[in-house]
Chains A and B, each alone.
Chain A
Amino acid sequence: GAVVSQHPSRVICKSGTSVKIECRSLDFQATTMFWYRQFPKKSLMLMATSNEGSKATYEQGVEKDKFLINHASLTLSTLTVTSAHPEDSSFYICSAPLARGTSYEQYFGPGTRLTVT
Chain B
Amino acid sequence: AQSVTQLGSHVSVSEGALVLLRCNYSSSVPPYLFWYVQYPNQGLQLLLKYTSAATLVKGINGFEAEFKKSETSFHLTKPSAHMSDAAEYFCAVSNTGFQKLVFGTGTRLLVSP
Contacts and interface: CB of A to CB of B under 8 A. Distances in A.
Contacts of B102: 46
Nearest to A44: B103
A43 B32 contact: no
B103 A97 contact: no
A110 B42 contact: yes
Contacts of A4: 43
Size bracket, chain B contacts: 20 to 34
A106 B97 CA distance: 7
Interface of B: 32, 34, 36, 41-46, 49, 51, 90, 94, 96-106
Interface in A87-110: 91, 93, 95, 97, 99, 102-110
User: Looking at B90, B94, B101, which has the most chain A CB atoms within 10 Å of its CB?
Assistant: B101
B104 A43 contact: yes
Contacts of B34: 106
A49 interface: yes
A67 to B, nearest CB: 16
Interface string A105-117: 1111111010000
6 contacts: A44-B103, A46-B102, A91-B41, A104-B96, A105-B46, A108-B44
Contacts of A46: 100-102
Chain A interface, >50% SS class: strand
Interface residues on A, range: 20 to 34
Given A46-B101, A97-B97, A102 B43 contact: no
Given A34-B101, A43-B105, A106-B46, 14 more contacts: A43-B104, A44-B90, A45-B103, A46-B101, A93-B43, A93-B44, A95-B101, A99-B98, A103-B51, A104-B98, A106-B34, A108-B44, A111-B42, A113-B41
Contact of B51 (A44, A102, A109): A102
A43 B103 contact: yes
A106 B101 contact: yes
A43 B97 contact: no
A100 to B, nearest CB: 8
A104 B97 contact: yes
Interface string A41-78: 01111100100000000000000000000000000000
